[in-house]
Structures are given as C-alpha cells and as structure tokens.
Structure 1
C-alpha cells in the first residue's frame, strides 16, 4: 500500500510540475519587441509559431485626427486578433507605406510620409525572412491602409511559393481591409449614406480611432463646409462615435480571425495552389 501511495504522490507531483511548466511557457505578453530573444525562443518552442506583421501609415487624416491613425488602429486590432487566435505574437507596426506619387492627394498635406510600393514590399519581405529565421511558421500580413494591399498580396504569394517545401507560409490577410463593404453596410443600416460615410477620415476612420484613443480625435477642429482640398476629409466625421467604432472594429477583427484560422488549417499544398 505504501508503494501505491508513493506512486500516486509521484504522479501527482509530475502532473503539478507539468501544469506549472505549461503555465510558465505562456508568454506574459504578445509584443515581440518587448521580449528578450530567450523569451521569444521559448514561446516559439511552446507553439507560438504564428506572428502578425501589421502595417499602418503616417498620413493626413483631416484637421480632427492625428497623423498616426492607421498605426494606432492596426496596433490595437492586431493584439485583439492575436488574442482571439491564441499562440500568436505581434511584430512592431510598419509605419512607412505607399501613399502615392509626390503629386497624390494625400501627399499635398503636411505630415504624410510615403514610400514607393517596391520599397514597402522590400521591407515586408525582409521582415518575413527575419521571422522565418526566428522559427515562425505562419506569418500574417495585415494592412490598415489601402495603398499597402497590393504589395502585401504580392509578397505573401511569392514567399509562400518559395517556402512551400519548408512548411512556412506568409498569409495576405485580405479580409481585414476587405471588411470595408461590411462596415459600410452596418452604417447604412443605421441611416447613413455613401456621402456621409465617405472614403477618408470620415465616419469609419474617426469612429474606430475614437473607440481606441479618444484623445487622438478632436471634432471641434473640423468644419463640415470645408472641401477635401482644404480639410483632407471625404465624408462627415461629426457623425462618428466611439460606440460605432467598437462595432466597426469588431467587424474587421472577426473577419481577419476567421480568415487566418482557415488559412492556418488549410494544408500547405492547398494554400500554395490557391495563390
């Protein structure tokens, strides 16, 4: 009997130790930049093999919103997406993205910082290659800015083909930015029109930022009578709200999570063939 009790005690100790090890293997936070290389290696060894690479943008967003709107939004959504996925870390936001030629509309306003598409694509590729070398298997590219969508898709497709034999995939999380029609439908159901919703620094952008960081928005600075050339706004941001922002953010987060889960579960060969 004593030997039986000893065996039970030993098994209990092993289970407790295993549980403690599993608990300590979970990273305390998900920001890659805030981890030491040892912590990162341990996280990857314990299954954190998916990483999100968010890209934002520094651009004019009307007189009522800060230039770093895209960065703030994608930083928050990437964290929410990572938590919903589990076993996922988040790389630092890439701030410098394509904003058009020097004569493009947004480039006419002070503060907009743009890079050529090939430069942005080169940065994405270099980041992805670095993350692959670190041991990540699923690299998820998420763009909050429209000008980044094309280069992102090209890089993801090309690197996934190149690394097909190694089991490393780069995903173009296109449903994130592609959630705009669903967001517009949500607002139309509340009585908004394409004119009030707008296309830049309007209800969607402003509401999302109000939900994330209300201090970055000051609607008293916006004059509804100002044309785009004077304000940099298309739409009516005064109809924005933090409550709407929460709902709009939930739409893009849900779509991104659903797409990433499907892509990760998809066999590597199928993912390669579908690109």
Structure 2
C-alpha cells in the first residue's frame, strides 16, 4: 500500500507551529486536536443567514457580523474555538414564498432541516471532545431552533458534566441600539431592514459589503439619517460595538455554565 493510502496517526506529532486562529475551518486537524488537549473545550456554533437587507447591504450581512463578533467572544472566553458559521437558516416559507423569501438572494431552510443541521454539527463537535457547545445566532428566525436543540442536547449531556447552551443575550437589538444612543447616535427608522449597528460593524469588517464607495458617489452614505462619516470613525464605533457584544455574551455564557437548569 502506498503512503497516500495510509490513514494518518491520530496521535502523530504536529510537524509545524500552530496558527493563531480561533476558527476551526482555518486550522488543521492537528491544530484542533492540540487545542483541545491544551484546554480549549468550548466551541461556539454561530448561525447567520442569507437574506435581503435593504438596498445597500450584502445578503450575507449576518455572516459578516459574526466574523467579528464570534471571534471576539471566543478570544474573550479564552478556552474556545469557533465552528464554521452556518449561513443557511429559516428565512420564511419557500413555496409560496413568505417573509424574506419574497426577495431574491434569500436562501431558506425548513425549521426541521435547520434543527437537524444544528444537532448533527453539535454532536460532531462533542464527539471530538468539546465539552461546551454554545449556540449564538445573529438573526431573529434562528433563535427558536437553537433553543430547542440546545435543550435537547443539554438534557443528554449534563449527566457527564458537558453542556449545550443557547445564548439569547447575544442577539439583543434593543441593547445594541441603546449602546449607540448612549454614544450620541440618534437613528430614525427608515423602514428598509437596515440600521447603524449593522453597518458600523460591517464597515469594520468589509466596507464594500455596505457599498460605501457607491453610496458616497450617489450621495446615499447615511443610514436611518446617520451619516456614515468619517468612515474611520464609524468603523471604530463598529469595533467597539463588537467588543460590547462580546462582553454581554461572555457574561451570559458564564452565568449559564454556572447555573443548574
């Protein structure tokens, strides 16, 4: 048998230095194995979505936001890695289309499909040795499915000391709006499924995803009557908001881990 046909030794020594990343998809299997062995026993499972988001923001807005927030949460926890962002979630009835499915770009899952996907992902991660599986979701329709699956798995795992948790505090839009108002941003809802909390974070991740240059050229570089200028300042606000979300979420995770449901 050729060497290409041999399975690698699960206990083999890693031949290169590890990369500084919390994203499982960016790591080698050896890096994940060694992270587990070093004490990273928590994994965050983030759910986003692909949906219409008004005339200015790319359809993957929730996934873009999670690129910033999930990483900040994992690094603040200190013992966590992040699973790949789940980009497809319930977005409305598919046929006939309802809710976001009435608009091109949206991809929706049936609730049963979504919950089955969450469960299989969590079970896979748990099988590898992650003791705490944490569900967070950056969209409203994600929340119920995560809550249901987390409770089912938590009931199965708690006897061994392992946990599956859903953290609703992560997706608190009122808290995000209050945080912005406390810093002098006064929005007026323009009814286009978009707001400054979204655009400021995405500005810090990828300004092209909110079409900043095109909007500046068209004189449309504002959201809910808040000017997206100067851009560096708005991006700084987005980065600070990411840290606030991380603080709130980590505190909620720690409360749940210490509780007896």
TM-score in terms of structure 2 length? 0.80
Could you tell me how far apart the structure 2 residues matched to 1:148 and 1:256 are?
A: 16
For residue 52 of structure 1, give the secondary structure of its aligned residue in structure 2: strand
Please give the per-residue CA displacement for 1:115-164, whole angstroms capped at 9, x wherever unaligned.
Answer: 01111111110001001100010111110111101110111111101111
Where 1:157 maps in the other structure, the secondary structure is helix
Of 170, 173, 178, the match for 1:185: 178
Look up the match of 1:18.
Answer: none
Question: How far, CA to CA, are the matches of 1:148 and 1:80 in structure 2?
Answer: 20
Q: What is the CA distance between 1:59 and its match in structure 2?
A: 1.0
Cα distance in 2, alignment partners of residues 160 and 90 from structure 1: 19
Q: In the aligned structure 1, how far is the partner of 2:188 from the partner of 2:244?
A: 18
Q: Is the 8 A contact 1:50 1:87 kept in 2?
A: yes
Gaps of 5+ in 1: 1-23, 226-234
Please give the alpha-carbon distance, in whole angstroms, between the structure 1 residues aligned to 2:129 and 2:205: 32
Match of 2:65 among 55, 60, 73: 73
The answer (yes or no) to whether the contact 2:48–2:62 under 8 Å persists in 1 is yes
Deviates more, 1:246-255 or 1:103-112: 246-255
In the alignment, structure 1 residue 249 sits paired with structure 2 residue 242: yes
Partner of 2:147: 153
Counterparts of 1:80-159 in structure 2, within 5 Å, are 80-102=72-94, 103-159=97-153
Question: Counterpart in 1 of 2:45?
Answer: 53
1:58 and 1:112 in contact (8 A); partners too? yes
* C-alpha displacement of 1:34: 2.5
State the match for 2:195 in structure 1: 202
RMSD of the alignment, in Å? 2.6
Comparing both structures, which one devotes a greater share of its residues to helix? 1
Structure 2 SS opposite 1:93: coil
Cα distance in 1 between the residues matched to 2:79 and 2:100: 38
Q: How many residues align?
A: 234
Q: What residue is the counterpart of 1:258 in the other structure? A: 251
**Which residue is equivalent to 2:8?**
none
8 Å Cα contact 1:25/1:42 also seen in 2: no
Alpha carbons of structure 1 residues 106 and 200: separation in structure 2 relative to 1, 3 Å: same
Q: 1:50–1:136: 8 Å Cα contact kept in structure 2?
A: yes
Contact between 1:204 and 1:245, CA under 8 Å: does it hold in 2?
Answer: yes
The answer to whether the aligner puts 1:168 opposite 2:162 as a matched pair is yes
Label 1:194 to 1:186 Cα distance change in 2 as closer, same or farther (>3 A): farther
Q: Shift in Å at residue 175 of structure 1?
A: 0.8
1:215-254 aligned at under 5 Å gives the runs 215-219=208-212, 220-221=214-215, 236=224, 239-240=227-228, 241-254=234-247
Matched ranges for 1:18-37 at <5 A: 28-37=20-29
Compared CA separation, residues 75 and 98, structure 1 to 2 (3 A): same
So what's the TM-score if we normalise by structure 1? 0.76
Contact map agreement 1:203 1:239 (CA 8 A) in 2: no
- Whether the 8 Å contact between 1:208 and 1:245 is mirrored in structure 2 is yes
Shift of 1:54: 0.8
